[in-house]
Amino acid sequence: MTQKKVLANKTSVAKKGEKKPAVKNVAPKKASSKTVEEKLLLQSLRGMRDILPEDQPYWERVRRVLTHSSQEYGFQRIDTPLVEFANLFTRLIGTETDIVEKEMYSFVTRGGDKVALRPEFTAGIARAYIEHGMGILPKPVKLFSVGPVYRYDRPQEGRYREFWQGNFELYGENDPILDAQTIQLAYRVVQQLGLKNIEFQVNSIGVPESRREYSKALVRYLEAQKSKLCQNCRERLVSNPMRILDCKEDKCIQLTAQAPQSLDYLDVESRDHFKRLLEYLDELELPYTINTRLVRGLDYYTKTVFEIWSGDKDGKKYSLGGGGRYDRLIKMMGGEETPAIGFALGLDRIVLEMKRTQVKPYQEPRARVFLAQLGEMAKKKSLRLFSELEKNSILIAESFGRGSLKSQMRVANRLGAEVTIIIGQKEALDDTAIVKDMVSGTQETVTHERLVDAVKKILKTNQELKIKEVNIPRPVEEFEKE
Ligand code: HAM
């Protein structure tokens, strides 16, 4: 549990020439250049949290799988700034969306620029694609990112204000086989992470022209029963009717159950695109369902949209990721006509799901060698030997802070060290070290020059004998094969 403390701190507030705020009915306090007590809250902001060392093995596994899969599918890494001009997001994501309307962290800089913390990656990466002339690169251009994003949402379990996304974007191809391959990649990632019971939902929302017809039909259907909608959806009926399909209120879900479906209003090209995508997905035998209510909360999508859901039958379900095509976006931003598709995985939710389903986290390589020292001179020599062994790729554990050999050997035993190197007063004077094989119990005294070879020899023999009792760490590749 995080321990939250509140401490007091002295902060100077008196500034030359600063106007005092008007205070009604209160006698103004004597002007003072002294300090006032201001509370220092030792807690992270609401909806933001520290990812502590004990959780890092889960995150490390996620990072490794993301990097590995992105390379497998030919993606190149791109890192864009956390802060962009605010209108990049308002224009691209859409002014009537929840993200832009309610959830952006926007502010004006000292220089007067209106900026915002990125609420997602797609807009910033599209900006970078155009700014750096990536349109001339051989297609498809595949870009991968990972990092934090910010949405001023109502925090609860699995929903944060700062959260991490693993994001994939693919530019320059409009064939539906790329949609299938993108979904296949998303599936590959969750599978490599050891997540089971994952459901893919797909839908097509067509292009803006066909969507207008669909929107009209939806409004006609809902207008007649407007009073039964929640307050939010009554407003959406005017501003963004398709978002009503995404409402989580029971009465709205019931009301929209019989509503017209976007698939019935698709233009010929979008319909054909969707049909071919489903054929590819069937061929890949990927587990998917068609969800005709899936509209997504961002305006830039055309044709294919999809989401990845955790499949807990009884408990809470989370959307672990989502994405889709956005064939008009780059042109709309002033670039060349460039079809595109992408998706983002919510990494915080993936880690929650890994823990819930007891997936093994990444296991750090463990030190198999312990370095013990006795006496001041030996201590000095140990520090140099430590770095010598590390340079030779031998991971070392030590307990330099402890003086007694007995307590150091206790640590070595607890860590399950296979080899202990001991340097006492005599060894320090002779530039030698005792190398003790902790499995067989034998030991020998070697010169510093021979030390690395002597240690490596014992480790190699142990590896060959597949020593069980010392629990040799599993290599990373073993996780990635799962
Ligand atoms: P999105 O559906 O808004 O899509 O977000 C993707 C994922 O981020 C969600 O499925 C969810 O797992 C996670 N997520 C969203 N909000 C929160 C939150 N408040 N706390 C924790 N996790 C959250 C996009 O962001 C698009 N840019 C995806 C995309 C890329 N489309 C095309 N390319």
Each residue of 282-311: pLDDT tens digit?
Answer: 999 988 999 999 999 888 999 999 999 997
Rounded to the nearest whole angstrom, what is the distance from the C-alpha of residue 322 to the centroid of ligand 1? Answer: 6
pLDDT at residue number 10: 36
Q: Which residues, in sequence order, are CB contacts of 415 under 8 Å at separation 6+?
A: 366, 367, 370, 397
What phi and psi values does residue 346 have, to the nearest 5 degrees? -85, 105
Beta strands in 358-466 (DSSP E): 369-373, 396-398, 419-423, 432-437, 443-447
How far does Cα 73 stand from its chain's mean position? 19
pLDDT at residue number 318: 86
Rounded to the nearest whole angstrom, what is the distance from the C-alpha of residue 320 to the centroid of ligand 1? Answer: 8
Mutate to test the pocket of ligand 1, among 48, 165, 182, 307 (most ligand atoms within 8 A of CB): 165
- Does pLDDT of 216 surpass 50? yes
Q: Which residues line ligand 1 (CB under 6 A)?
A: 120-122, 151, 153, 159-160, 163, 165, 167, 169, 297-298, 319-324, 342-344, 346, 348-349
Which band of pLDDT confidence, cut at 50, 70 and 90, is reported for residue 403? Answer: confident
Give the highest mean pLDDT range of 4-8, 67-71, 215-219, 220-224. 67-71
Mutate to test the pocket of ligand 1, among 120, 151, 310 (most ligand atoms within 8 A of CB): 120
- Does pLDDT of 6 surpass 80? no
pLDDT at residue number 33: 55
H or E element, residue 268: helix 268-284
- Does pLDDT of 198 surpass 60? yes
- Does pLDDT of 18 surpass 50? no
Rounded to the nearest whole angstrom, what is the distance from the C-alpha of residue 164 to the centroid of ligand 1? Answer: 9
Which band of pLDDT confidence, cut at 50, 70 and 90, is reported for residue 479? Answer: very low
Rounded to the nearest whole angstrom, what is the distance from the C-alpha of residue 343 to the centroid of ligand 1? Answer: 8
pLDDT at residue number 23: 39
Which band of pLDDT confidence, cut at 50, 70 and 90, is reported for residue 269? Answer: very high
Q: Which residue's alpha carbon is at the smallest distance from atom 16 of ligand 1?
A: 159
pLDDT at residue number 287: 87
| 400 within 8 A of 384, measured Cβ to Cβ | no
- Does pLDDT of 171 surpass 90? yes
Rounded to the nearest whole angstrom, what is the distance from the C-alpha of residue 120 to the centroid of ligand 1? Answer: 7
- Greater model confidence, 470 or 256: 256
Share above pLDDT 70 across residues of the chain, in percent, rounded to a whole number: 88
Q: Which residue's alpha carbon is at the smallest distance from atom 30 of ligand 1?
A: 343
Which band of pLDDT confidence, cut at 50, 70 and 90, is reported for residue 248? Answer: confident
Mean pLDDT across the stretch 118-141?
98
478, two tokens: 């073993």
Mutate to test the pocket of ligand 1, among 179, 298, 308, 310 (most ligand atoms within 8 A of CB): 298
Which band of pLDDT confidence, cut at 50, 70 and 90, is reported for residue 170? Answer: very high
Rounded to the nearest whole angstrom, what is the distance from the C-alpha of residue 190 to the centroid of ligand 1? Answer: 15
- The mean pLDDT of the chain is 88
pLDDT at residue number 7: 34
Rounded to the nearest whole angstrom, what is the distance from the C-alpha of residue 70 to the centroid of ligand 1? Answer: 18
Mean pLDDT lowest among 35-49, 155-169, 312-326, 441-455: 312-326
Rounded to the nearest whole angstrom, what is the distance from the C-alpha of residue 474 to the centroid of ligand 1? Answer: 33
The torsion of the CA quartet 344, 348, 349, 353, rounded to 10 degrees, works out to 120
Q: Which residue's alpha carbon is at the smallest distance from atom 8 of ligand 1?
A: 346
Which residue bears the tokens 């020059």? 449
- CA dist list (Å): 14 to 8, 117, 274: 18, 31, 65
- Does pLDDT of 13 surpass 80? no
The torsion of the CA quartet 452, 453, 456, 460, rounded to 10 degrees, works out to 180
Q: Which residue's alpha carbon is at the smallest distance from atom 1 of ligand 1?
A: 322
Which band of pLDDT confidence, cut at 50, 70 and 90, is reported for residue 327? Answer: very high
Q: Which residue's alpha carbon is at the smallest distance from atom 31 of ligand 1?
A: 323
pLDDT at residue number 315: 66
pLDDT at residue number 314: 66
Q: Which residue's alpha carbon is at the smallest distance from atom 4 of ligand 1?
A: 322
Are β-strands 302-310 and 198-204 bridged in parallel, bridged antiparallel, or unpaired? Answer: antiparallel
The minimum-distance atom of ligand 1 relative to the CA of 345 is 7
pLDDT at residue number 149: 98
Rounded to the nearest whole angstrom, what is the distance from the C-alpha of residue 428 to the centroid of ligand 1? Answer: 59
Which band of pLDDT confidence, cut at 50, 70 and 90, is reported for residue 107? Answer: very high
Rounded Cα distance between 22 and 26, Å, is 9
Q: Which residue's alpha carbon is at the smallest distance from atom 22 of ligand 1?
A: 346
Mean pLDDT across the stretch 309-320?
80
Q: Which residue's alpha carbon is at the smallest distance from atom 32 of ligand 1?
A: 342
- Does pLDDT of 24 surpass 70? no
pLDDT at residue number 105: 98
